[in-house]
Amino acid sequence: MSTRMPIEVSIAVSKAVQQADVDVIAAYPITPQTHIVENLSGLVANGELEAAFINVESEHSAISTVIGAAAAGASTFTATSSQGLALMHEILFIASSLRLPIVMVVANRALSGPISIWNDHSDIMAERDIGWIQVFCETGQEAYDAIFHAFRVVRDPTVQLPMIVNVDGFNLTHVIEPVFLFEPEEIKDYLPEHRQALRLDIEHPITMGPVGVPEVYTEAKKQVEEALLNSKQVVMAAWQEFGQRFGRSYAPVEAYRADDAEVLLVTMGVISRTAMTAVDRFREAGKAVGLVRFRLWRPFPRAEFQEAVRHARILAVIDRHISLGALSGPVCLEVRAALFNLPDHPQVFGFVLGLGGRDVTVDDFCDIVERAERYATAGPEGDYTLIGLREV
Amino acid sequence: MQNALKDFEKFDPQHLPLFEPLAQGHRACQGCGEVLALRLAAKALGREMIVVSATGCMEIISSAYPQTAWRVPWLHVAFENSAAVAGGVDAALHIMKEKGKIARDDIPILVVAGDGGTADIGLQALSGALERGHNFIYLCLDNEAYMNTGIQRSSSTPYGAMTTTSPPGKLSIGENHFKKDLPAIAVAHKIPYVATVSPAFYLDLMNKVRKASLIKGPAYIHAFSPCPTGWRHAGRYAVKMARLAVQTRVFPLYEVIDGKYILNRKTPKPKPVAEYLKLQKRFAHLTDGDIEIIQEHVNKEYERILKLSEEVDLETKFTSTFQQHIDRLKQQMDEAYQKMREEIVHH
Amino acid sequence: MPEKVEKRAIVGWRNLVPGCAILEPGNSTQLLTGTWRLQRPVIDAELCNLCGLCWVYCPDMAMTKTAEGRYEPDLNYCKGCAICAEECPKNAITMVEEEE
């Protein structure tokens, strides 16, 4: 019987990794991921987790080491944030093109510069194209559960792709939340054994990572794309099974009081919870405001998103990353792209807030809804609105 | 001490292994000294090994899709991380064996990287992996420049060499730094085995690779790799260059086992470096003065290795000297005591 | 003229091995590098003492041992680099221009 206990989310995440039969962990410390890897190394040191914990000398080597281990057939895990994720950048594409089942937690933190240790989504938004499955979490329970989903999904033989679980740094990783933790026997059957067809094996010597001549490069990328698109059904099946077994259901796009909403806030990650409070406030005042949030970010869940926002008049899309020089934040861009070809769709307005750990409040969301309604009749004030900006 | 080397058996030149881990049809240049060094090293390990390769000449010429020249498991990830990738393979094998997931974890891992992927962009990953003590054989194939991308200098390019990014000119003699000493960097990490090899001395090369496979922990082997294309000499002289480099002391052959230097091939009457330099057009622009500087540097480096190889272990030296003093003092005391006794008895 | 190797890389994405992994070890033997040659080695059996150094020093593994224990260049792969000719201690190997 799982026990519900107050626990720091980072620790809960590490406990989930502990129960996932991981073989090799290679990580480099970076705030705010540190508690995850510290706890894991403690579990290994105490014999509570039978895995190799490798203290690498940089994140670039963390992902490289994990790739080497995965290529040898091991179940692998790493975690990072911000600059660490950016340092891994060139190798991340290779992890997916090599079709390796790696699980990584990103404790979302702003990218330098200026240097910031606080939470926003700029780190993960710089990695949209890497070919990894990507999900977001809002609560400690979700972060804990997501680890099991991830190991199950990457081990599916039709997937063979690495996966990122995003956990907002500090705002989620460092808070203490009530989480139902599994007993090992409960969760064991949910996770398949880690088996890999293609690996480094002297009995079957293969060449991994050859030169992708022009004649094959396009097809190689298409193959990863198809695998990524197909992974959505595997992710959803994993969520469905999880829901049946344990009573907690997840979906690619989740709605909150959205059925008859005229205005929908669109969010990702921990601020969704704050947005829900704003929605409640509007509903109490009799306004038809709701919330839709992405759980699955890659592959982009187009069908689910279109369905979720179909009946709304206005979408206020929240980005926690400023894509310098672009027409709006990346989530807003993709939302617009998802709706563009529909004969009829809501008006879409982009908002950027909570950069570099700037606090995101219920009042901010109220402000956003009011602005969105104003823009709907009076026209937007620019391509997107930066909330909370001080002019002088 | 490396007990593992107690049972080391040299290769018999009459019965060299026939298996070629590297297959014909690879795309190396005609007369490539680097692929020869790689072929011999791989042959010394045989069928049971895993190769982790950095980006570079050896990777490009052996793995152009859909063809591979490798008959053993081979993995290429990127340019600067081969040591880190190999560390991951090593860790995976050990833990999976421990957890009963695989039968064997005693398969040697051969890391193949060039001087570029080792001395420069790859130095961090190498240092980290050596410090962590992973079990692999790191083979640095040193052709003294970034050859695969078109002969640009690396920190392993020798003084005076022409490369496309260190060209000689009105204001330049070509590369104006001396080679970064990679074996010394490896030794500084206190790993059990470091060695230099040249494909001209193929038995020495193969024996060293075998030794490296027997020791536990990281081994670093630095292979002199003549590149006719980049060094501008005829392909037929690749092995000759590899031999001359040793005979002129440009590339001394030595091992460092648990920190102890062994100079494998002393050259009491070395050939002058000019004989080596003059055969390569990359040095054609050098003046006699430049060559003298190089000769001086080569002599100094060789003397340094020679001295290190002749150094007796200080502790042993101290203990034996100390013991000699103690023995002498004891003897003197015994004699004095004896004398005293006799005087007392006679009184 | 051997078939251009790149043609074999023309495979549809549905048939591409995941990760572009190459499953056939040593299939580079499909590429007959012997066509690169401008000259080929000829071994004088009288002078050859079967030391095998030509086989040791060939970077292309293009010197083969016959059933009788003699050495013969594998003209499918020999690139004509002449290392064997240079290293032969008996000067038993001469390089001969290729006619084509």
- Two structure tokens written together for A305: 């998103």
- The pLDDT, as a whole number, for residue B322 is 86
Say if residue B314's pLDDT is above 80: no
What confidence tens digit (pLDDT) does each residue in B193-246 have? 999 999 999 999 999 999 999 999 999 999 999 999 999 999 999 999 999 999
In which residue are the tokens 């030149």 written?
A: B13
Q: Is A232 on the interface with C (CB under 8 A)?
A: no
- For residue B31, give the nearest of C20, C56, C59 by CB distance: C59
Q: A184-235, pLDDT tens digit by residue?
A: 999 999 999 999 889 999 999 999 999 999 999 999 999 999 999 999 999 9
pLDDT beyond 60 at C2: no
Out of C16, C21, C25, name the one closest to residue A208 (CB): C21
| pLDDT on residue B313 | 67
Best residue of B24, B27, B50, B72 to probe chain C, by most C CBs closer than 10 Å: B24
Chains that touch B (3 or more CB pairs under 8 A): A, C
Please, is B198 exposed, middle or buried when counting C-beta atoms within 10 Å of its C-beta (0-12, 13-18, 19+)? buried
Peptide bond into A32 cis (omega under 30): yes
- Predicted confidence at residue C10, as pLDDT, reads 79
- Nearest by CB: C83 against B63, B70, B236: B236
Q: Which of A66, A67, A76, A200 is the best mutation test for B, with the most CBs of B within 10 A? A: A200
Of C56, C77, C87, the CB nearest to B25: C77
Q: Inter-chain contact B39–C83, Cβ cutoff 8 Å?
A: no
pLDDT digits (tens, 9 = 90+) for A78-103: 999 999 999 999 999 999 999 999 99
Q: Which residues of chain B have a CB within 8 Å of the CB of C54? A: none
> For A106-141, what is each residue's pLDDT tens digit?
999 999 999 999 999 999 999 999 999 999 999 999
pLDDT at B321: 83
C37-87 pLDDT, tens digit per residue, is: 999 999 999 999 999 999 999 999 999 999 888 999 999 999 999 999 999
Whether A220 and chain C come into contact, CB under 8 Å, resolves to yes
Could B75 and A212 be called an inter-chain contact, meaning their C-beta atoms sit closer than 8 Å? Answer: no
DSSP B120: I
How close, in Å, is residue B230 to chain A by CA atoms?
22
Q: What is the pLDDT of residues A326-369, one digit of tens each?
A: 999 999 999 999 999 999 999 999 999 999 999 999 999 999 99
Compute the distance between CA of residue B321 and CA of residue B341 in angstroms, rounded to an integer.
30
The span from the CA of A262 to the CA of A282, in Å, is 12
Mean of pLDDT values over C75-100: 96
Compare CB distances from B85 to A67, A74, A90 and report the shortest one's residue: A67
Residue C6 distance to chain A (closest CA, Å): 7
Mean of the pLDDT values across residues C15-30? 96
Nearest of B207, B221, B210, B214 to residue B112 by alpha carbon: B221
- pLDDT for C1 equals 35
pLDDT exceeds cutoff 70 at C3 = no
Which chain C residues touch B238 with a CB distance below 8 Å?
59, 81, 83
- Asked if pLDDT for residue A305 goes beyond 80, the answer is yes
- Residues in chain B within 8 Å Cβ distance of A201: 73
pLDDT tens-place string over residues A364-386? 999 999 999 999 999 999 999 99
| Residue A211 DSSP label | B
Distance from CA of A114 to the nearest CA of B (A): 26
CA-to-CA distance for A307 and A239, rounded, in angstroms?
A: 19
pLDDT at A254 over 50: yes
Token reading at B310: 């002749």
Interface predicted TM-score (ipTM) of this complex, two decimals: 0.96
Chain A contact set for B107 (CB, 8 A)? 202
Pick B26's closest partner by Cβ from C28, C56, C85. Answer: C28
Q: Which of A276-290, B5-19, B167-181, B309-323 has the lowest mean pLDDT?
A: B309-323
Question: Which residues in chain B touch residue A94, judged by CB atoms under 8 angstroms apart?
Answer: 77-78
Size of interface A-B (CB pairs under 8 A): 158
Mean pLDDT in chain B? Answer: 96
Residues of C in Cβ contact (< 8 Å) with A99? 18-19
pLDDT at residue B96 is higher than 60 = yes
Least CB–CB distance from A206: residue in C6, C12, C22: C22
Q: How confident is the model at residue B323 (pLDDT cuts 50, 70, 90)?
A: confident
Contact assessment for residue A295 and residue A164, using Cβ atoms and an 8 Å cutoff: no
Q: What are phi and psi of C64, to 5 degrees?
A: -110, 160
Residues of C whose CB is below 8 A from B22: 61
Total length of chain C: 100
**Is the peptide bond preceding residue A114 cis, with omega within 30 degrees of 0?**
yes
Q: List chain C residues with CB under 8 Å of B16.
A: 52, 56
Find the residue in B nearest to C64 (Cα): B18
- Who among A100, A220, A227 is closest to C20 (CB)? A220
Using alpha carbons only, what angle is made at residue A184 by residues A178 and A186, rounded to the nearest 5 degrees?
Answer: 80
Element (H, E) at B93: helix B82-98
| C-alpha dist (Å) from residue B346 to B337, B340, C54 | 14, 10, 86
Structure-token pair, residue C27: 């299939």
**CB atoms B236 and C60 under 8 Å:** no
Hey, which chains touch C, using 3+ CB pairs under 8 Å? Answer: A, B
Dump the DSSP string for B217-281.
Answer: S-EEEEEE---HHHHTS-GGGHHHHHHHHHHTTSS--EEEETTEEEESS--SSPPPHHHHHTT-G
| Residue spans of alpha helices (H) in A199-356 | 214-246, 271-284, 302-309, 330-340
First-to-last C-alpha distance (Å) of chain B:
58
Residue C8's pLDDT band, with cuts at 50, 70 and 90, is: low
Instruction: Answer yes or no: is pLDDT of A182 > 60.
Output: yes
User: Cβ A61–B94 below 8 Å, yes or no?
Assistant: no
Residue with the larger pLDDT of the pair A62 and B6: A62
Take residue A99 and report the two structure tokens written for it: 């079709």
